[in-house]
């Protein structure tokens, strides 16, 4: 039996796109293949409630030492990678790194590295000095050490090859997925009476609040499409991240009580926000994939998408795309969605059809094919 050490360290609060990748791929691999998968997890001071989201079929594997202190094992794995032979059991056939961090090098194991984006390399000003240093260090290490590299989009693949052309023969594009239960539905909870999302039509954004997400442009476009008195709201659900307080203040100054910030939300609430919205906006300046686009397709919500990076690969209609910083173009698209323009219904149907082929089962199938080449 092939043994896989799968890095689930990103499964911690808040649940990011990388965490959803870890959860979706690991669960589907366990359900659809005969691999023995050990999920490397971390707690801090004995707490990580989100570890419970990992499949019960997985063998939960904390480090043998310093299990309640993330920093110590992470630094040892980073600077003394062969210490992994002390942290983990022997006998792994595959070690799968799921983000910019070192999983060590167990004896005789092949290494797979998933690269979601190169934002820390392309836009280093958006990250702390520490994050910039470790992301760059690990990217180049993974390019040297990985027996195979998984890129989640064609755009990310091309950026990888711009930095490291020698990786061309070791790289596959395997995207992100959506739970089959959401696609088949109905599995989204209805809104309770008194829920603020029930107060009128709204446009949603789900993700961290940070400069890269370009939410001020979204707010300006929303304001132009749905002025005061329209009854519409702009709803944001996500964690306050880098420079978030200033961004929230700017949005409140533009929209006033037409803006609703929900804070970080759990998976059930996230799906409610996406499913009950009249539209989702992905206004980011840069994404390695753009999972909320696929998730919106899954629940048949139309999406407006900034015309950049990997997100253009996910558009199903040219009318969805708007120049990244053009609030005017975004507002026109939102008005067309509100008026059910001729392109809206076909884009919803096509988006649902496409995402049905991108379940976590299909992503796991392609990932298993990579493992089979190496084991």
Is the pLDDT confidence value at 83 over 80?
no
Instruction: Read off the pLDDT of residues 353-367 as tens digits, 9 standing for 90 and up.
Output: 999 999 999 999 999
Evaluate whether 3-177+359-374 and 181-355 have a shared fold.
Answer: yes
Kindly indicate the confidence band of residue 122, based on its pLDDT and cuts at 50, 70 and 90: very high
Mean pLDDT in residue range 168-180: 95
| Distance set, CA 347 to CA 93, 109, 200, 221, 365 (Å) | 43, 44, 23, 21, 27
- Across 103-112, 168-177, 277-286, 291-300, least confident range: 103-112
Instruction: Read off the pLDDT of residues 303-327 as tens digits, 9 standing for 90 and up.
Output: 999 999 999 999 999 999 999 999 9
Instruction: Read off the pLDDT of residues 193-248 as tens digits, 9 standing for 90 and up.
Output: 999 999 999 999 999 999 999 999 999 999 999 999 999 999 999 999 889 999 99
Mean pLDDT in residue range 5-25: 90
What tokens were used for 349?
């149907």
Q: What is the pLDDT of residue 107?
A: 79
Q: Rounded to 5 degrees, what are φ and ψ at 288?
A: -80, -25
**CATH number belonging to domain 3-177+359-374:** 3.40.50.2000
The 3-state secondary structure of the chain reads CCEEEEECCCCCCCCCHHHHHHHHHHHHHHHHCCCEEEEECCCECCECHHHHHCCCCCEEECCCCCCCCCHHHHHHHHHCHHHHHHHCCCCCCEEEECCCCCCCCCCCCEEEEEECCCHHHHCHHHCCHHHHHHHHHHHHHHHHHCCEEEECCHHHHHHHHHHCHHHHHHEEECCCCECHHHHHCCCCCCCCCCCHHHCCCEEEEECCECHHHCHHHHHHHHHHHCCCCCCCEEEEECCECCCHHHHHHHHHHHHHHHEEEEECCCHHHHHHHHHHCCEEEECCCCCCCCHHHHHHHHCCCCEEEECCHHHHHHCCCHHHEECCCCHHHHHHHHHHHHCCCCCHHHHHHHHHHHHCCCEHHHHHHHHHHHHHHHC
Kindly indicate the confidence band of residue 46, based on its pLDDT and cuts at 50, 70 and 90: low
Question: Domain map of the chain by residue range?
Answer: 3-177+359-374, 181-355
Q: Which residues, including other chains, have CB under 8 Å from residue 282's CB and lie 6 or more apart?
A: 205, 290, 292, 293, 303, 304, 305, 306, 311
| Distance set, CA 30 to CA 11, 33, 37, 187, 219 (Å) | 17, 6, 7, 22, 42
Q: Which fold has domain 181-355?
A: Rossmann fold (3.40.50)
């Amino acid at each position: 039996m092939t043994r896989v050490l799968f890095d689930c360290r990103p499964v911690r609060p808040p649940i990011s796109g990388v965490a959803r990748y870890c959860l979706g791929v690991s669960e589907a691999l366990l359900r659809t293949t005969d691999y023995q998968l050990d999920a490397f997890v971390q707690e801090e001071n004995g707490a990580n409630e989100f570890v419970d989201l990992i499949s019960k079929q997985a063998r939960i594997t904390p480090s043998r030492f310093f299990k309640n202190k993330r920093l110590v094992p992470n630094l040892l794995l980073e600077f003394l990678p062969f210490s992994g032979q002390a942290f983990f059991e022997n006998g792994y056939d595959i070690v799968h790194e799921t983000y910019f961090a070192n999983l060590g090098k167990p004896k005789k194991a092949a290494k797979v590295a998933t690269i979601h984006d190169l934002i820390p390399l392309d836009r280093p000003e958006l990250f702390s000095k520490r994050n910039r240093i470790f992301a760059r260090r690990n990217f180049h290490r993974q390019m040297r050490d990985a027996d195979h590299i998984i890129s989640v989009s064609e755009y990310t693949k091309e950026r990888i090859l711009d930095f490291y052309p020698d990786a061309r023969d070791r790289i596959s594009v395997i995207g992100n997925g959506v739970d089959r239960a959401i696609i088949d539905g109905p599995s989204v909870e209805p809104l309770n009476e008194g829920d603020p999302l029930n107060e009128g039509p709204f446009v949603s954004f789900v993700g961290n609040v940070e400069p890269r997400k370009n939410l001020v442009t979204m707010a300006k476009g929303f304001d132009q499409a749905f002025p005061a008195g329209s009854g519409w709201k702009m709803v944001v659900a996500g964690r306050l991240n880098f420079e978030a307080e200033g961004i929230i203040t700017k949005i409140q100054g533009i929209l006033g009580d037409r803006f609703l910030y929900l804070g970080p939300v759990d998976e059930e609430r996230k799906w409610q926000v996406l499913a009950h919205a009249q539209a989702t906006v992905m206004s980011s300046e840069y994404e390695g994939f753009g999972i909320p686009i696929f998730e919106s397709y899954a629940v048949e919500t139309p999406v407006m998408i900034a015309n950049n990076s990997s997100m253009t690969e996910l558009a199903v209609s040219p009318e969805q795309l708007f120049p990244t910083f053009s609030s005017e173009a975004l507002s026109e698209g939102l008005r067309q969605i509100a008026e059910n323009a001729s392109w809206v219904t076909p884009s919803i149907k096509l988006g649902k059809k496409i995402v049905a082929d991108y379940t976590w089962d299909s992503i796991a199938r392609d990932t298993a094919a990579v493992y089979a080449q190496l084991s």
